[in-house]
Amino acid sequence: MTYNKKTIEDIAVAGKRVLVRCDFNVPVKDGVITSDKRIVEALPTIKYLKAQGAMVILCSHMGKPHNVFDAKLKLDKKEIAKIDALPEEEREAATAAALEKAKKDVKKLSLQIVADKLNELLGGGVVFANDTVGEDAKAKVAAMKPGDIVLLENTRFTAREEKNDPEFSKELASLAEIFVNDAFGTAHRAHASTAGVTQHAGLPAVCGYLIQKEISVMGKALADPERPFVAILGGAKVSDKLNVISNLLTKVDTLIIGGGMAYTFLAAKGYTVGQSLLDTEKIDYCKDMMAKAEANGVKLLLPVDTTIAASFPNPIDGPIEVSVVDSDKIPDDMQGLDIGPKTMELYAEAAKSAKTVVWNGPMGVFENPTLAKGTIAVAEALAESDAISIVGGGDSAAACEQLGFADRITHISTGGGASLEFLEGKDLPGISCLADATRKIVIAGNWKMNFTPSEATAFINEIKPMVAGKDNCDIVFCAPYVTIAAAQAAAAGSNIKIGAENVHFADKGAYTGEVSAKMLTECGVKYVIIGHSERRQYFGETDETVNKRVKAALAAGMTVILCLGEVKEQRLSGITKEVVSMQTKLDLAGVTAEEMKRVIIAYEPVWAIGTGLTATPEQADETCGQIRDALVELYGKEVADLTTIQYGGSMNDKNAAELLSKPNVDGGLIGGASLVPAKFTAIVDAAQ
């Protein structure tokens, strides 16, 4: 499943009430949050929305408060049955005691504890509502001002949440003007606050940074992995991983099996597995999967040796006597509880030689220190590997964190079940319900060597109110380096973004006068023009150096405005198409489909830049279309359709409307007219 969804950056949020579904289902012990990972991971979205001046309404579930029905505390069927079985005279007291206990259990699941943590992490300012859609929530939401944050009480304090009740969804939706889903951990559930809420007309729904990160890292690994691609699957039961195994066998180069489910595979191979966990009904399935692996040319690795014991540890973390045998020699009275040392080496070797590794599920009973060695060996191999390493949530994520390897893993998912369903290729209802990404219209100014810092400040202050609320296009001004900070300060809180006009490809070093992508991003600069014709003409820029700059800027997380176009002689000799197609290929060599989400192409016929000559709308449309065709060849139609291709070359207030009306022209890169507020605003108006 690949998702291309609109994100919080694709929608105007300033001054709007934004309902954000987070996953604050954090582990709590004795009133203390034992891992705040999910809260920390939600912060980028919350901070962005706050900085943009949105009114941020957070909601989440926590745990399974089974005794709450329609916001009232009631005993569930099981408890009622238990009480009914008691002698009549004991029932009243037992009911009161059960209700009292339920009250305490439910109270433990209040999100007040998360509000306190958020206040600690954000330095205060988070208001907690004592209910989800009740009087308190409504009053607190009504009193919000831009930049305020309110956290609603646990969405599961009504059974209507998990039933995806339309009325409850509607009440939630009525609190806000925009919905953001950032709860990857619950994205596989169609509940009221994850999916139902998007069914209410007029509530645009987009994803937050966390969901964006999860689907882009895991989506890329599945759709376009760097190879060799190795998947390591563990966990107790084959039946939990049926679809994952089958789906991964169509994608990976090596599939590694460990944990309890390995014994069913060993049995399918004809080995006897003693008292080990065995899913007899799934032996045929394992045989099918082994045949599928062979047919697809996938290496399937099973444990070659096994750590065995006479019984399962009791208590689970208690002392246990173990020995190691080859996997085909497990005695009848013993059971396998972890992979053995030869297997650890084999699996670690495979993980280290991979370019992409996905891991989900422990290799043994890792709660027990004696039986945790296999899981530790895999976690360590991932940490030491140079591969893109992705750990599905749940036990394997917890293992990486407990072992202190987390910061050496590329991506640890915040979703257990959700990441598994994603690897299965299943549709996640909390994500599929969000708006699909569309091609963005971008109007960008190239100030060239104009404007001192004070002039830039005056310009932005003048144009800011003129373009306010014109949100159907992104507005960017690319400024000389020394002017950037002043322009950023003036543009703060508005819909104007400030970029740079060039970037060097090296991170740092002896390049006098140059500036690196890292320097720009640390200054909060997200956009950069690369390959402008004036740099190609006067500063010896070639497609090779353009390509290096593009890759460096993308690697630093920037959005690139890549300029290309033909010179007059090339147009006159009728080779424009060949020229722009070749430039597209050379300038984007090595750029991945995922990175293309941050590439804007500016088609700029060199003969039209700063000359007062403009391509006709038909010429602009035709050549932008030829660039798009080159993108189809490189990346396929989906990526090509989503790439913004601007026209640049004497675009102004007079010709903009006609140029922008063309289907392949997705905005403009504007030089001269970007220095005059009224002219630039007229172009922004034309883009609306």
Q: Dmax over Cα atoms in the chain, in whole Å?
A: 101
Q: Which stretch binds ligand PEP (CB under 6 A): 2-10, 314-322, 329-337, 642-650?
A: 642-650
Residue of 271, 260, 259, 265 lying closest to 286 (CA atoms): 265
Nearer to ligand PEP (CB atom), residue 392 or residue 648 = 648
Contact between residue 322 and residue 300 where contact means Cβ atoms under 8 Å apart: no
Task: Rule CB under 6 A: say whether 682 interacts with ligand PEP.
Answer: no
Per-residue binding letters, 440-469, with ligand PEP (x by CB under 6 A)? ------x-----------------------
Counting every residue, how long is the chain?
688
Say how many C-beta atoms besides its own lie within 10 A of residue 440's C-beta: 17
CB 545, min distance to ligand PEP, A: 18
Nearer to ligand PEP (CB atom), residue 359 or residue 447 = 447
Task: Rule CB under 6 A: say whether 562 interacts with ligand PEP.
Answer: no
Task: State the DSSP code for 281.
Answer: G
Q: Which of 609, 631, 639, 660 binds ligand PEP (CB under 6 A)?
A: 609
Task: Rule CB under 6 A: say whether 648 interacts with ligand PEP.
Answer: yes
Task: Rule CB under 6 A: say whether 617 interacts with ligand PEP.
Answer: no
Residue 257 in tokens = 């099996």
Q: Is the dihedral of CA 24, 30, 31, 36 positive or negative?
A: negative
Query: CA–CA separation, 98 vs 103, rounded Å?
Result: 9
Q: Which of 253, 566, 604, 666 binds ligand PEP (CB under 6 A)?
A: 604
Nearer to ligand PEP (CB atom), residue 57 or residue 687 = 687
CB 687, min distance to ligand PEP, A: 15
Per-residue binding letters, 499-518, with ligand PEP (x by CB under 6 A)? --------------------
Q: Which stretch binds ligand PEP (CB under 6 A): 257-265, 429-437, 659-667, 671-679?
A: 671-679
Kindly report the three-state secondary structure assignment for every residue of 37-48.
HHHHHHHHHHHH
Q: Which of 196, 336, 393, 671 binds ligand PEP (CB under 6 A)?
A: 671
Q: Which of 90, 610, 636, 678 binds ligand PEP (CB under 6 A)?
A: 610
Task: Rule CB under 6 A: say whether 651 interacts with ligand PEP.
Answer: yes
Q: Which stretch binds ligand PEP (CB under 6 A): 7-15, 129-137, 172-180, 663-671?
A: 663-671
Let me know if 532 is a catalytic residue: yes
Kindly report the three-state secondary structure assignment for every residue of 169-237.
HHHHHCCCCEEEECCHHHCCCCCCCCCHHHHCCCCCEEECHHHHHHHHHHHHHHHCCCCCEEEEECCCC
Residue 330 in tokens = 């497990």
Query: CA–CA separation, 663 vs 368, rounded Å?
Result: 62
Total residues binding ligand PEP (CB under 6 A): 13
Task: Rule CB under 6 A: say whether 672 interacts with ligand PEP.
Answer: yes
Q: State which amino acid sits at residue 364.
A: G
Task: Rule CB under 6 A: say whether 649 interacts with ligand PEP.
Answer: yes
Tell me how far the alpha carbon of residue 512 is from its chain's centroid: 37
Compute and round to an integer the Cα radius of gyration of the chain: 29
Task: State the DSSP code for 64.
Answer: -
Beta pairing partners, 206: 180
Residue 443 in tokens = 């109007």
Q: Which of 670, 683, 684, 687 binds ligand PEP (CB under 6 A)?
A: 670
Query: CA–CA separation, 396 vs 183, rounded Å?
Result: 19
Q: Which stretch binds ligand PEP (CB under 6 A): 274-282, 381-389, 549-557, 670-678?
A: 670-678
- For β-strands 254-257 and 388-391, DSSP reports them as unpaired
Nearer to ligand PEP (CB atom), residue 252 or residue 615 = 615
CB 112, min distance to ligand PEP, A: 54
Task: Rule CB under 6 A: say whether 488 interacts with ligand PEP.
Answer: no
Q: Which of 650, 655, 664, 681 binds ligand PEP (CB under 6 A)?
A: 650
Query: CA–CA separation, 683 vs 688, rounded Å?
Result: 9
Tell me how far the alpha carbon of residue 468 is from its chain's centroid: 29
Say how many C-beta atoms besides its own lie within 10 A of residue 330's C-beta: 22
Chain residue whose CB lies nearest ligand PEP: 671
Q: How many CA atoms lie within 13 A of 646 on its CB side?
A: 34
- Residue 365: helix, strand or coil by DSSP? coil
Nearer to ligand PEP (CB atom), residue 354 or residue 600 = 600
H or E element at residue 79: helix 77-84
Q: Which stretch binds ligand PEP (CB under 6 A): 49-57, 397-405, 422-430, 604-612?
A: 604-612
User: Given 411, 504, 532, 534, which residue is catalytic?
Assistant: 532
Q: Which of 669, 682, 683, 686 binds ligand PEP (CB under 6 A)?
A: 669
Q: Which stretch binds ligand PEP (CB under 6 A): 203-211, 227-235, 296-304, 649-657?
A: 649-657
Task: Rule CB under 6 A: say whether 583 interacts with ligand PEP.
Answer: no
Chain positions contacting ligand PEP, by CB under 6 A: 446, 604, 609-610, 648-651, 669-673
Active site residues: 532, 604
